[in-house]
Amino acid sequence: MKELYLKYKEIINYLIIGVLTTVVSLLVYYISVFTFLDPENGIQLQIANIISWAAGVVFAYFTNRKYVFESQEKNKLKEASKFTLARLTTLIMDMIIMWLGVTILHFNDKIIKIFSQIVIIICNYVFSKIFVFKKKVNTDD
C-alpha cells in the first residue's frame, strides 16, 4: 500500500487537496446563497461564485504548494501570480458552466455547481502541473 502511495503520491495528494478545496469552495458558496445572495438572480449567482472561488484559491495555493507539488520556488509572488492566473482561467470556465446550466437551461444551481467543480478540479491539476509548479530541469552536466 505504501509503495502504491509513493508511486502516485502527487496525484493522490492532489485529489485529497482538491476535495478539501472543493469542500471549502462549496461551503462558502452554499453559505453565501443560503444567507445573503439569491442564486435566482444571475448577478448574485456570479458574486457567490467569485466569493467561493477566492476562498478556494487561497486555500488551494498554500496546500498545493506544500503538500502536492512540494514547491521549492523562492519567488513565491511569481508562483502565486501564475497560480492565480491559472485559477482565474478556471473561474471563467466555472462562470460559463454556471451561467449555461442555471441561467440559460434552468437546472438546479447546487447540482450544476458540483458538476462544475469536477471539471474545474481536473483543469486545475493540469494547469498547476504544466504552468505553475513545473519542476525545474537540472541542466548541469
Q: Each residue of 27-72: pLDDT tens digit?
A: 999 999 999 999 889 899 989 988 998 999 999 999 999 999 999 8
Does residue 10 belong to any structural domain of this protein? yes
The reply to whether 139 falls in a domain is: no
d(CA 46, CA 98): 8
Q: Does residue 11 lie in a domain region?
A: yes
Cβ-based neighbours of 93, under 8 Å, separated by 6 or more: 116, 119, 120, 123
- Could you tell me the residue range of the domain that residue 32 belongs to? 2-132
- Domains contained in the chain, number: 1
Helix (H) or strand (E) holding 85: helix 76-98
Q: In 3D, which of 94, 96, 128, 99 has the Cα closest to residue 114?
A: 94
Residue 89 is assigned to a structural domain of this protein? yes
Characterize 111-141 residue by residue with b for buried, 16 or more Cβ atoms within 10 angstroms of its Cβ, and e for exposed. Answer: ebbeebbeebbebbbebbbeebbeeeeeeee
Tell me whether residue 137 is in a domain.
Answer: no
Whether residue 141 is contained in a domain is answered as no
Residue 113: closest CA among 100, 123, 96, 98: 98
Q: Is 70 helix (H, G, I), strand (E, B) or coil?
A: coil
What digits encode the pLDDT tens for the residues 64-112?
999 999 998 999 999 999 999 999 999 899 889 999 999 999 999 999 9
**Domain contains 138:** no
Residue with cell 447540482: 111
